[in-house]
């Protein structure tokens, strides 16, 4: 039997379809590990599971947050722990699925116990970065935390702002927090993990077709409603893949064809980064060279790669009990 099942993979690889099939086979419940599918605002754009699919098996942590509420990996780990415990207590297999590698990494190996940073502090750090610019912000931060600044490239906006936020909110360098024992959760054992790795050319074609389908299904209307809220552009959902490109179109800055082309290119680049992360940071996940909704995958790839115990369980595990 499986204690916990993890499914990773790049955008467009069919993770949700595979999770749905295995949840039905294994009496499982699906738990979201996609940082954008946490938000309720962009169901189409983030490819959140359809209501009909969510009715087939239990789904947790989908569409639960407003776009104005950022979610850190630490907070997601807390939410995931509660969901996993609930699913296991009900006698079901927790199936954690998503393309956010940092979430899966935190699930398997833990995360630095950095306290939550208040929204006001996050906003102030972003405004300071815009006001001071790259060299100015880095220089100002270096005066307060020279050790952390020395480890960060001045143009690494995300990590630099994060380090400044943590320093402001906690009074301690992010280096100090990262030196603490990682915050970990106990997963039901054994833990089985797979990573979808479809052929690159086929994945690129699929990403483009899926994006066109999203536009036909009303993705622009979703993004326009989000744009009209005039939220902080540094919020996670505001920076989701394809959102800035189509917001630029809606603002009259570029035509739809240009926005679509840029969104396709950015989605493909994002998929490449996801695959690289999975390969280098999460080698525990068994690669599955196909798409999750390929009807041949379960019989020809999933079972042989994992090693069949019965029709309801696999032998291969990604790690032993903690």
Segments of the chain assigned to CATH 1.10.20.140 = 119-178
Could you tell me which of 53, 57, 63, 61 has the C-alpha nearest to residue 93? 57
pLDDT of residue 192: 87
- What is the architecture, at CATH level 2, of domain 119-178? Orthogonal Bundle (1.10)
> Is residue 103 helix, strand or coil?
helix
CA distances from 37 to 41, 145, 274 (A): 9, 35, 16
pLDDT of residue 53: 94
What is the full DSSP assignment across 121-147?
A: HHHHHHHHHHHHHHHHHHHHHHHH-HH
Maximum pairwise Cα distance, the chain: 61
pLDDT of residue 305: 41
Which tens digit of pLDDT belongs to each residue from 131-180? 998 889 999 999 999 999 999 988 888 889 989 999 999 999 999 998 98
- pLDDT over 60 at 312, yes or no: no
- Alpha-carbon span 291 to 300, nearest angstrom: 12
Could you tell me which of 128, 169, 134, 168 has the C-alpha nearest to residue 152? 134
What is the full DSSP assignment across 198-235?
A: --HHHHHHHHHHHHHHHHHTTHHHHHHHHHTTT--TTS
Which tens digit of pLDDT belongs to each residue from 198-250? 999 999 999 999 999 999 999 999 999 999 999 988 789 999 999 999 999 99
Q: What is the model's pTM?
A: 0.86
User: Model confidence at 299, in pLDDT bands (50, 70, 90)?
Assistant: low
Residue-averaged pLDDT of the chain: 89
Which tens digit of pLDDT belongs to each residue from 255-293? 999 999 999 999 999 999 999 999 999 998 988 888 998
pLDDT of residue 298: 62
pLDDT of residue 261: 97
pLDDT: which is higher, 252 or 153? 252
Which tens digit of pLDDT belongs to each residue from 25-80? 889 999 999 999 999 999 999 999 999 999 999 999 999 999 999 898 999 999 99
Segments of the chain assigned to CATH 3.40.50.300 = 4-111+183-314
- pLDDT over 80 at 300, yes or no: no
What is the full DSSP assignment across 19-33?
A: HHHHHHHHTEEEEE-
* DSSP code for 84: H
Q: Which residues make Cβ contacts (< 8 Å) with residue 293, sequence separation at least 6?
A: 14, 17, 18
Place of tokens 């960060």: 152
* Domain spanning 4-111+183-314, CATH class: alpha beta
pLDDT of residue 301: 45
User: Model confidence at 126, in pLDDT bands (50, 70, 90)?
Assistant: confident
In the structure encoding, which two tokens stand for residue 201, read together? 């050319």
CA distances from 50 to 25, 46, 62, 206, 291 (A): 19, 11, 11, 19, 18
* DSSP code for 271: H
Place of tokens 């950015």: 266
pLDDT of residue 295: 76
The percent of residues in the chain predicted with pLDDT above 70, rounded, is 91
- Alpha-carbon span 249 to 247, nearest angstrom: 5
pLDDT of residue 306: 46
Burial level of 68, CB count in 10 A (0-12/13-18/19+)?
A: middle
């Amino acid at each position: 039997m499986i204690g916990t099942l993890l499914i990773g993979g790049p955008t467009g690889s069919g993770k949700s379809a595979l999770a749905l099939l295995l949840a039905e086979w294994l009496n499982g419940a699906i738990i979201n590990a996609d940082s954008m599918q946490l938000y309720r605002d962009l169901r189409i754009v983030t490819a959140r599971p359809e209501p009909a699919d969510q009715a087939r098996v239990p789904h947790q942590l989908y569409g639960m947050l407003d776009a104005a509420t950022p979610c850190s990996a630490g907070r997601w780990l807390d939410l995931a722990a509660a969901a996993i415990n609930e699913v296991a207590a009900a006698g079901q297999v927790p199936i954690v699925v998503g393309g956010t590698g940092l979430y899966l990494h935190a699930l398997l190996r833990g995360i630095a116990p950095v306290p939550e940073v208040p929204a006001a502090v996050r906003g102030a750090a972003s405004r300071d970065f815009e006001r001071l610019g790259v060299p100015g912000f880095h220089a100002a931060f270096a005066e307060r935390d020279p050790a952390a600044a020395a480890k960060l490239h001045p143009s690494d906006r995300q990590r630099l702002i994060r380090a400044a936020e943590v320093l402001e909110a906690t009074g301690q360098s992010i280096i100090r927090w990262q030196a603490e024992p990682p915050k970990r959760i106990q997963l039901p054992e054994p833990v089985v993990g797979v990573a979808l790795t479809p052929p690159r050319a086929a994945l690129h074609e699929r990403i483009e077709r899926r994006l066109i389908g999203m536009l036909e299904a009303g993705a622009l209307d979703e993004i326009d409603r989000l744009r009209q809220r005039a939220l902080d552009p540094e919020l996670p959902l505001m920076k989701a893949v394809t959102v800035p490109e189509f917001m630029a179109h809606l603002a009259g800055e570029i035509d739809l064809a240009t926005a679509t082309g840029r969104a396709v290119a950015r989605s493909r680049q994002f998929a490449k980064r996801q695959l690289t992360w999975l390969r280098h940071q999460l080698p525990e996940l068994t690669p599955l060279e196909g798409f999750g909704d390929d009807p041949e995958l379960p019989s020809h790839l999933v079972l042989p790669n994992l090693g069949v115990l019965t029709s309801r369980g696999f032998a291969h595990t990604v790690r032993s009990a903690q």
